[in-house]
Structure 1
Amino acid sequence: MKHLFVRAALCAALVMPFAVQAHKMWLVPSATVVSGDDAWVTVDAAVSNDLYYPDHFPAQLDNLVITAPDGSPVKPENPWTGKVRSAFDLPVKEAGTYRIALVNQGLFANYEVDGQKKRWRGKADELKAGIPANAKNVQVSEMASRVETFVTQGKPGGDALKPTGKGLELVPVTQPGDLVTGEKATFQLLLDGKPAAGLKVTAINGATRYRNAQEEQDTQTDKDGRFTFAFANPGMYWVNANTEDKKTTVKEATQRRVAYTATLEVLPQ
């Protein structure tokens, strides 16, 4: 039972962020801007139908990566996973911006056995054992996603905002802790460290449980990978982009599907 639960969570982590679907994965901190020598935040992590209401199942914390403003890794405090959400506490003592991310990577395969179509999802080192030897018409895709949020202590900035050069990443032009209604906010998307041009970016304000429509905002990255939103209303926003290419890191895979999702808080003026 535990194995099935973990596999289901892995499938969600790899597949759901690739489009604006009913189920969305997210990280939501209790606060995005804090101050004081003993500041803490609690972060929820889940996959849900409504933003940001945990109603489906929890996001797994195995691939949680927290980076402090000086670039050093940070371990979460009191991590736990329940039926519909995971959560952890984070001490926010260093001045600057913390990056909190779930970084997932794996494979998805379609194949046939005795004329019946089958599917498999898992990690690269599980592929050989996961696909039967008599499988035919095997098609393997590599999938990588980054789901993240930011918390700022005092003045925003720091080494945590530097890109790793792997997958689809966001570089703030407007700092995450400086987002307010009525002002344009600009960001840059990088794919493997280079500007990701021509990508559709979607932003959805949270609390969709209490609206009849998602009320999506869509825009597109320019030649430098930059995009801009003007947020009319305050709240926690789910920002998502995805793309596909042939730049796989696993020889068995013929295509790569890459996604990025962030939770950004917009405050009233």
Structure 2
Amino acid sequence: MIKPGVMLALSAALLCVGTAQAHSPFLLPNLFDLGKRDHVTVQGSFTEEFFSPDVVMKSDDYHVVTPAGAKVALTPVYTRDLAIVEVDTKEAGTYRISTGKRGGRTAKAAWVNGDWKFLGPKDEAPAGSKIYDVTSITMAEVYVTQGKPTEQALAPRNTGLEYRALSHPNSAFVGSDVKFEVRFDGKPLADHAVSVYGAKALSADQKPFAEVTTDKDGRFSFTPSAPGVYLAMSRHRPTPAKDSQQGVSYTYSVVLEATE
């Protein structure tokens, strides 16, 4: 069991997470291309070393979007380091497996120069700034395909922070662009920073494979340089309403496999 003090520190780290700091969320299946398999097993965790699970990722909304577009709830099994979900894949096509939007802890922060400055117990807010209660919202997703890739499960939800796939996540190849559109509440996010990680080096100071910024249409791309698993991740911190005491910090990640 995680001690309260450790959990509080982790929660603050997740709230403060940039695209290359602290514990980051991921979902990792045992297979991306399922062939004709009728199930897939997926692990969910927070980590500093992709893809070594470190802190279990709990959520009340683990689910899968089937090739027909239906949302089906999943029942996770929790260990101390990771969550495990088993997904039925009897229907041919692409499945979108998700943690759903999961709320984290709330921390005190001041809005300074367009971003949150999180405050420790002994920290003082900058002069003239307002203090908010900031809640973290995290979502991690991954796509798997039984048979040939299909499009229905790729449809955006148009709520919160998400990536809309512009190239199929299960048709990623070395030397070819992988393309996404970053959206928030259904609208593209321009000039939005995204970090892409590969799983070659597992180290606490793991550097991104690529750091990119979305264009005016909210789109970004990266080109896998070698076969393997890649994770794209970013955060979005909307400007808080002046008459509110609440703020939100969103984090989203998606994992895919590039093949030759």
TM, length-normalised to structure 2: 0.80
The residue correspondences of 1:195-210 to structure 2 (distance < 5 A) are: 195-209=188-202
The superposition leaves residues 140-161 of structure 1 with CA deviations (integer Å, 9 ceiling, x where unpaired) of 2243222111111222233321
Aligned to 1:26: 26
**Unpaired runs of at least 5, structure 1:** 120-136
Q: For 2:18 and 2:107, locate their aligned partners in 1 and report how far apart those are by CA, in whole Å.
A: 16
| Range with bigger deviation, 218-227 or 61-70 | 61-70
Quick check: 1:89 aligned with 2:86? yes
Q: 1:7 to 1:63 in 2, by over 3 A?
A: farther
Equivalent residue for 2:248, pick from 253, 256, 266: 256
How far apart are the structure 2 equivalents of 1:138 and 1:13?
Answer: 18
Question: Offset of 1:98 from its aligned partner?
Answer: 1.1
Secondary structure in structure 2 of the residue aligned to 1:160: helix
Aligned residue in 2 for 1:141 = 134
Q: What's the secondary structure of 2:95's corresponding residue?
A: strand
**Structure 1: which amino acid aligns with 2:64?**
I
Deviations 1:115-147 (A, max 9, x none): x9649xxxxxxxxxxxxxxxxx75222432221
Distance 1:183 1:169 in 2: 22
SS of 1:144 mapped into structure 2: strand
Amino acid at match of 2:248: R
| Residues matched between the structures, number | 242
What is the RMSD computed on CA atoms of the aligned residues? Answer: 3.1
- 1:166-185 correspondence to structure 2 within 5 Å: 166-185=159-178
Question: In 2, Cα distance between the equivalents of 1:5 and 1:140?
Answer: 19
Q: Which runs of 5+ in 2 are unaligned?
A: 110-118, 123-129
Q: Displacement of 1:198 after TM fit? A: 0.5
* Aligned residues of 2:14 and 2:22 also touching (Cα < 8 A): no
Candidates 66, 69, 90, aligned match of 1:68: 66
| Matches of 2:258 and 2:174, distance apart in 1 | 6
Instruction: Work out whether residues 12 and 47 of structure 1, in 8 Å CA contact, stay in contact via their aligned partners in 2.
Output: no
Q: In structure 2, do the counterparts of structure 1 residues 59 and 5 end up closer, same or farther at CA, with 3 Å as the change threshold?
A: farther
**1:243 is aligned to 2:240:** no
Q: What does residue 130 of structure 1 align with?
A: none
Deviation at 1:29, TM superposition (A): 0.4
For residues 60 and 41 of structure 2, the distance between their equivalents in structure 1, rounded to whole angstroms, comes to 17
1:209 aligned counterpart, secondary structure: coil
Which residue identity is paired with 1:76?
A: L
Counterparts of 1:73 and 1:191 in 2: how far apart (Å)? 20
Maintained 8 Å contact 1:173/1:188? yes
Identify the residue that residue 47 of structure 1 maps to in structure 2. 46
CA deviations over 1:21-63 (Å, ceiling 9, x no partner): 1422211001112122x42111011112211112x22111433
**Partner SS for 1:145:** strand
1:229 corresponds to = 222
Distance 1:49 1:181, change over 3 A: same
SS at match of 1:34: coil
**Letter matched to residue 104 of structure 1:** R
1:233 & 1:51 partners in 2: Cα distance?
A: 16
Q: Which structure 2 residues correspond to residues 105-184 of structure 1 after superposition, within 5 A? A: 105-106=103-104, 108-110=106-108, 118=121, 138-184=131-177
The secondary structure found in structure 2 opposite 1:50 is: coil
Instruction: Answer yes or no: is 1:194 the counterpart of 2:187.
Output: yes
Percent of pairs with identical residues: 28
Moved over 6 A (4+): none
